[in-house]
Amino acid sequence: MELLALENVTIGYQRGRPLLPPVSFSVSRGDLVGILGPNGSGKSTFLKTLLGLLPPLQGKLRYASGRKPRLGYVAQDPRFDFAYPLSVLEVVLMGRVAELGLLRRPRKEDIAIAEQELGAVGLQALARKPFRSLSGGERQRVLVARALTGAPDLLVLDEPTSSMDVAAEHALLSLATALTAARGTAVVFVTHEISAAAEIARTVVLLDSARSYFAAGPVEELLTSASMSALFGNPVEVRHENGRVFVWLSASRGGSGGP
Amino acid sequence: MSFWEARFLWEEPMLAAVLASAVLGYLGLFVVLRRITFTSAALSQVSGLGVALAFLMGSFAGVTPHTRTPLWLDPSLWALVFACGGAAAMSLPARSRRATPESVVALAYVGASSLVLLVLASPRMAVEAHEIGDLLFGDAVVVRRQDLWNLGAAALLVATVHGLLFRSFLFASFDSDAARVSGVPVRWMDLLLHLSLAVEVAAATRALGALPVFSFLVLPAGAALLLSERLATVLLLSVVIAVSCAAGGYALSWLLSLPTGPVMVVLGVGVWGLAGLKRLWETRGGLRW
């Protein structure tokens, strides 16, 4: 079931200066979409347009059911003001605002849901800790938990694993896969890890504002050595073997060798 | 006459100071956390400009501070309208305007301050200028009954709006993008927060004076944030510190025959300094010079 669609949308911040060519792209329930592109390629801008935070310069953002689906969003490297005296639980409970409306206060069941989602990202033990006392990776996971407490139809993660260690990164990507399977949540995530996108995404979006390039399609079709090399301006080797994907920068290995 | 025997003189000003400081102490948490401390200072000046212009208009209509003022020339009304207009302009997100937020606040502050001085220097205002100066920015010693009612109404309004929308204000302030995605109308929340600040500043400035109002918006919340890491405790501490400085400052100024507003402010600075020392002690495991 389709959740939302960009219809012939031009994205950017200034009229007359679009970042990408007109884009048509849709997200349905259960989709797992990885977005790849070099630094400054317009990935975050694309996400903001998809979320309705940035109005399209042209074209239309359409909601399939006629009203906005529930959205969860974790921004790339959010710069929080650590003067805020908030506990981890208080931050996670903010995600219940769509359920509670503007006026109602969180009740016991809201707290239980917040604690359950904190458990899903492996941080239930830190619920009463000050948010500012956490490490960058832990904060990122708390924000994922906050996004999940709103029971989103679409979860958008902008480089969610950038501050995480390998174990936390693996756990989060597994969680994303489980979410789509168990709850039907669509997950769209930006990453620089080509292999991570290849492992868990079913659809990939490649974009590069410098070349005014946008492409979306199945992983097997789009994640090729040629497309990755063109996207990143470096010789990248991609090999699909037995359902697994191996990626390496061939220049760094003297143009030969394997994963 | 002892302090207690003279209570008929200070009851109402003390009540005004306590009421205003409690609300300002609460609002101060948002002011400090959102780093808009000078917005409150600018709002005092902008509301003062409204008062000054009301008197100037009144002078053309033959109204003096000693005669009954028609409603449309009521200085409190003009202060409120000007403060709310300034607050609405200052709440606009940076992308909606070409100037930076700080420069808009500075423009409002210096522009309004200068215009107030020019209005007061007008030959039409020469006789009442001193009296109007007190009315403009208060002196915390004498409070008119009308000011007390205005403070009560402002406190009720702020308590109602913030009682209902506190969590949305907090989410919108803490992480505006995520709040918008979650369905919080962030721009409306920003506008409402600034308007509630404007209403309280307009009412409190005329009762207490610009300096105490500014300090109650900054010092108690700043001290509370140094003393606790729990939101509820910080809120409570901020209000308690503000009320203590207001009441204590009023009593001290009476007993020591000192100007009231500055004594309140100095008490606030003292509390902030002690909170800073406590924080330093905790974070560094003791003082090291």
Q: Each residue of B38-60: b (16+ CB within 10 Å) or e? A: bbbbbbbbbbbbbbbbbbbebbe
Q: What is the pLDDT of residues B113-158, one digit of tens each?
A: 999 889 888 887 766 666 667 666 666 677 888 889 999 999 999 9
Strand partners of residue A23:
A9
Judged by CB atoms closer than 8 Å, whether chains meet at B177 and A84 is answered as: no
Residue B50 falls in which region: left (phi positive, over 0), alpha (psi -120 to 50) or beta: alpha
- A106 interaction partners in chain B (CB closer than 8 Å): 167
**What number of other Cβ atoms are within 10 A of residue B239's Cβ?**
21
CATH code: domain B7-284 is 1.10.3470.10
The answer to whether residues B165 and B192 touch, using CB atoms and an 8 Å cutoff, is yes
Position of tokens 């790339």?
A76
| Whether B52 contacts chain A with CB within 8 A | no
> Six-digit token pair at A77?
């490297």
Q: What is the pLDDT of residue A104?
A: 80
Closest-approach residue (CA) in chain B for A158: B178
Closest-approach residue (CA) in chain B for A146: B178
B88: which residues sit within 8 A by CB, 6+ positions away?
B191, B194, B195
- pLDDT tens for chain B, 289 residues long, are 777 887 888 888 899 999 999 999 999 999 999 999 999 899 999 998 998 898 888 888 877 666 777 888 888 899 999 999 999 999 887 665 567 888 889 999 999 999 988 988 888 776 666 666 766 666 667 788 888 999 999 999 999 999 999 999 999 999 999 999 998 999 999 999 999 999 999 999 888 888 899 999 999 999 999 999 999 999 999 999 999 999 999 999 988 989 888 999 999 999 999 999 999 888 876 555 4
Q: What is the pLDDT of residue A164?
A: 73
Distance (Å) of CA B14 to CA A177, B17, B155, B204, B259: 62, 5, 15, 13, 14
Report the distance separating Cα B63 and Cα B195, nearest Å.
29
- A85 interaction partners in chain B (CB closer than 8 Å): 225, 228-231, 233-234
Q: Range(s) for CATH 3.40.50.300 in chain A?
A: 1-69+153-220
Judged by CB atoms closer than 8 Å, whether chains meet at B182 and A71 is answered as: yes
Mutation target for B interface from A44, A45, A79, A102: give the one with most B CBs within 10 A: A102
Q: Which amino acid is at A41?
A: S
CATH code: domain A1-69+153-220 is 3.40.50.300
Report the distance separating Cα A255 and Cα B165, nearest Å.
60
| Whether A151 contacts chain B with CB within 8 A | no
**What number of other Cβ atoms are within 10 A of residue B224's Cβ?**
27
Chain centroid to Cα A12, Å, comes to 19
Judged by CB atoms closer than 8 Å, whether chains meet at B231 and A86 is answered as: yes
> Six-digit token pair at A235?
């010789």
The answer to whether residues B140 and B208 touch, using CB atoms and an 8 Å cutoff, is yes
Judged by CB atoms closer than 8 Å, whether chains meet at B174 and A98 is answered as: no
Q: What is the pLDDT of residue B20?
A: 96
Report the distance separating Cα B266 and Cα B174, nearest Å.
31
- CA distance to partner chain B, nearest, from residue A51 (Å): 7
DSSP 8-state secondary structure symbol assigned to residue A87:
B
**Residue ranges per domain, chain B?**
7-284
Judged by CB atoms closer than 8 Å, whether chains meet at B184 and A102 is answered as: yes
Angle, CA B43 vertex, CA B40 and CA B46 arms, to 5°:
160
- pLDDT tens for chain A, 259 residues long, are 889 999 999 999 888 888 899 999 999 999 999 999 888 889 989 999 999 999 999 999 999 888 889 999 988 766 677 889 999 999 999 999 888 877 788 899 999 999 999 998 889 999 999 999 998 888 888 999 999 999 999 999 988 777 777 777 777 788 888 888 888 899 999 988 888 788 888 899 999 988 888 999 998 888 888 888 888 888 888 888 877 778 887 765 444 434 3
Strands, E assignment, chain A? 2-10, 23-28, 32-36, 58-63, 71-74, 154-158, 186-190, 203-208, 213-218, 236-241, 244-249
Q: Sign (positive/negative) of CA torsion A142, A147, A149, A153?
A: negative
Global confidence as pTM: 0.87
The answer to whether residues B187 and B177 touch, using CB atoms and an 8 Å cutoff, is no
